[in-house]
Amino acid sequence: MKKSSLLFCLFVLAGLFTSAQLPFQKASLSIAPALQKTFVRDGRIILRLSHQRPKDQRLSTETTLYLNPRDWNGTDALLLDPADPRLIIIGQERRNGSTSGTLFYQAIYWQNPDDCHENAPGNLYSTIDSVAFPTKDPLRVTLNKLFVAETVQEHKFVKTVELQSKILSDFSGHPRYLRASMLLPATYFDHPEKSYPICYRIPGINGKYTFANNKLKDKEFMDWWFSGKAPQVIYVFLDSRGPYGDTYQVDSENNGPCGKALTEELIPAIEKMVHYRPATHRRYLAGLSTGGWVAMGLQIFYPDFFDGTWSYSPDPLEFEHYGLINIYKDESIFYNRFGYLQPGVRTKFGEPTRSMKDWITGENLGSRLGDYRTSGGQFGAYNAVFGPRGKDGQPTLMFDPITGKIDHEIAKQWEKYDLKKVLEKNWSTLGPKLQGKIWIWTGDMDDLYSNVATRFFEAFIAQTKNPHSDAIIRFTPMAGHCEEFSDDDVIKMVAEKAAKKQ
């Protein structure tokens, strides 16, 4: 699709509004002098508007304006004109027809090339300000703050590791980093040279290694951890965010050799720090949602490196049931073969809450390229991880962002990440290596319909021979996405399995 056609369609979908319908005529954006040296060209402006008083330093959005400025040098003021055809405006209807009152506003300038999320370290943002509306004066917005990297809370039983990845830096042509945090068992300092079982815990979509902070704030969990009843396991939190969203921790043409960097750089650094001995074969994986797919994918792609996996509500394990879509045969991701809108999200009682068309439209609008490739959302991440790299250096589109039409030539190239197909083609070699290593749980009313793929994955597992797989796959009727996930339960199962290795 031509770029001009794409922009036109996006404007129609976004429901552009004239300047008369906005509570201001223009906005003047500038960068505080102290931050001008941090400016990186070719970023993306996000201006958020709301008549609701903000509760914290991030403004809840009612109306959002997006612009990719051309040739902005970061020193001159940038004028945002609602009449500019490049400007995308969404959510104006959420203002409920308000024509007067107080307007709160905040701007963000996305410029971090290694993280497509607006709150990524290195991006600029403004203090929330307000103005009485309507107003004929331009909004004057100064980007005077810098997002800084989140840190893990200091704690005797928590270690963090951050290292510059030579593998990923060479791929990208600029420094890229790997990060993780680890929660040490209560007896760790009593036996500092002991090799404890170690479990790599993978978060849901775009999760961060700073999730260790969540566990430190969980009094019930921490009381249990130090009670003498908790198993003695090193629990490691990985970081999943990358240039196109979640990297899925695997090698890909767009994110780079992330699996290689994980297994050859980050994990060796972690295990050296905590004196883990690989010869004990007690290195495990656990994850939920996107992390559930990652836990399965890493176990399958590195069957000798990891010694067992626990996967909760994994993203589709096979792509003939990518939600409810067969990417290899269906014509569209937006409509099913009966001509009905394809649902993408539901309640656990089966009520559709969002269509695939609406889902992708949202990702299109939130992306600096105007389509889901750089949205940082679920499908932007899928597309970057599973698909090939285009001639323009960006991920190719597996389906058209406006019509939903599937490009089957691109879809065919996703097969190397279709975990069922990988096992079908390589069972004679992979099957023996995976014995005793696979455990999966899924709710049968998964919010994202991922249980369908897991059912067909289970059907494949059930008919395997030489060897017949001993994978444990469990379903709970009427349970939703990740409903039964528990860090406590995972740690107990890891310890039980590790005990059999002694």
pLDDT number for residue 62: 74
DSSP β-ladder status, 245-246 and 198-202: unpaired
pLDDT number for residue 61: 74
pLDDT number for residue 100: 62
Residue 135 makes CB contacts below 8 A (sequence gap 6+) with 23, 24, 25, 103
Phi and psi (nearest 5°) for 167? -60, -50
Q: Long-range pairs for 94-97 at CB < 8 Å and ≥24 separation? A: 94/62, 94/63, 95/23, 95/49, 95/51, 95/62, 95/63
- Average pLDDT per block of 10 residues along the chain, 502 residues long: 40 39 80 94 88 78 83 90 82 56 89 84 93 81 93 96 97 95 97 94 94 96 96 97 94 97 98 97 98 98 98 98 97 96 96 95 83 92 96 96 97 98 98 98 98 98 98 98 97 96 74
Tokens of 182: 């680890």
Domain boundaries, the chain: 3-146, 158-318+418-499, 320-416
Output the pTM of the full model. Answer: 0.88
State the residue for tokens 């009427």.
478
CATH number of this structure's domain 158-318+418-499 = 3.40.50.1820
The conformation of residue 325, written as its DSSP 8-state character, comes to B
> Is 204 in contact with 313 (CB distance < 8 Å)?
no
- The vertex-282 CA angle with 277 and 287, nearest 5°, equals 125
Nearest Cα to Cα of residue 30 among 65, 66, 96, 78:
78
- pLDDT tens, position by position, 288-301: 999 999 999 999 99
Residue 272 makes CB contacts below 8 A (sequence gap 6+) with none
- One-letter amino acid at 152 equals V
